[in-house]
C-alpha cells in the first residue's frame, strides 16, 4: 500500500524502520544534519576486523530521511569498512526504489552519515 508521495519501499522502511536505536560504546558515531533544517541523522557502528557487524540509527526527519537511514543500516551491515564507505546516495535511493527529486538530500544525508561514522571510527582507531 503505497500512500503518500513515496514508493512502497520507502513507506515500508518509514513505517517499520530497521535498526532504530543506539549502540553503547559504538566504534564509530556519525551525525549529520540539523533539526532547524528539518533533518538530523545519527548513526552508530559496531566494527569488528574491518567489518560493519552492527549499525543502528536515530533520525529526526521526514519519511525519506527515516527510510534512508533504515535502508542504509541494512545495506552496510556485513560490509567491509571500504565497501561501506563506497556507498553513495544513489545506491540508497535506488535501494528504496527512488526518492522524489526534492527528497534526494535525504539519501545524501545517509551517505554523509556513514562517511562521518567511519571517519570517527578511523580517528578513534588511528593509534
Supply 95's cell numbers: 535501494
Residue 5 binding another protein, by CB under 8 A: yes
Residue 97 binding another protein, by CB under 8 A: no
Minimum CB separation of residue 90 from another protein in Å reads 17
Cell numbers 530521511: residue? 65
Supply 5's cell numbers: 508521495
User: Site map for another protein, 20-59, x if CB under 8 A?
Assistant: x-x--------x--xxxxxxxxx---------------xx
62 is catalytic: no
Rg (CA), the chain: 14
In angstroms, the Cα distances linking 39 to 25, 54, 62, 96, 122 are 24, 23, 7, 18, 25
Q: Report which of 60, 68, 75 is spatially closest to residue 110, judged by C-alpha positions.
A: 68
Selected from 7, 9, 60, 80, the binder of another protein by CB under 8 A is: 60
Size of the site for another protein (CB under 8 A): 32
Stretch that binds another protein, among 76-84, 87-95, 96-104, 114-122 (CB under 8 A): 96-104
- Pairing of the two strands 28-34 and 51-60: unpaired
Residue 15 binding another protein, by CB under 8 A: yes
Selected from 18, 79, 100, 115, the binder of another protein by CB under 8 A is: 100
Amino acid at each position: 500500500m503505497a500512500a503518500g508521495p513515496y514508493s512502497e519501499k520507502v513507506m515500508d522502511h518509514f513505517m517499520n524502520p530497521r535498526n532504530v536505536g543506539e549502540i553503547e560504546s559504538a566504534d564509530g558515531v556519525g551525525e549529520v544534519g540539523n533539526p532547524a533544517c528539518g533533518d538530523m541523522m545519527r548513526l552508530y557502528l559496531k566494527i569488528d576486523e574491518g567489518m560493519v557487524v552492527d549499525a543502528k540509527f536515530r533520525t529526526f526527519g521526514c519519511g525519506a530521511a527515516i527510510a534512508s537511514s533504515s535502508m542504509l543500516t541494512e545495506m552496510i551491515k556485513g560490509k567491509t569498512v571500504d565497501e561501506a564507505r563506497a556507498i553513495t546516495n544513489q545506491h540508497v535511493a535506488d535501494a528504496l526504489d527512488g526518492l522524489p527529486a526534492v527528497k534526494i538530500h535525504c539519501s545524501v544525508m545517509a551517505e554523509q552519515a556513514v562517511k562521518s561514522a567511519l571517519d570517527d571510527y578511523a580517528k578513534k582507531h588511528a593509534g
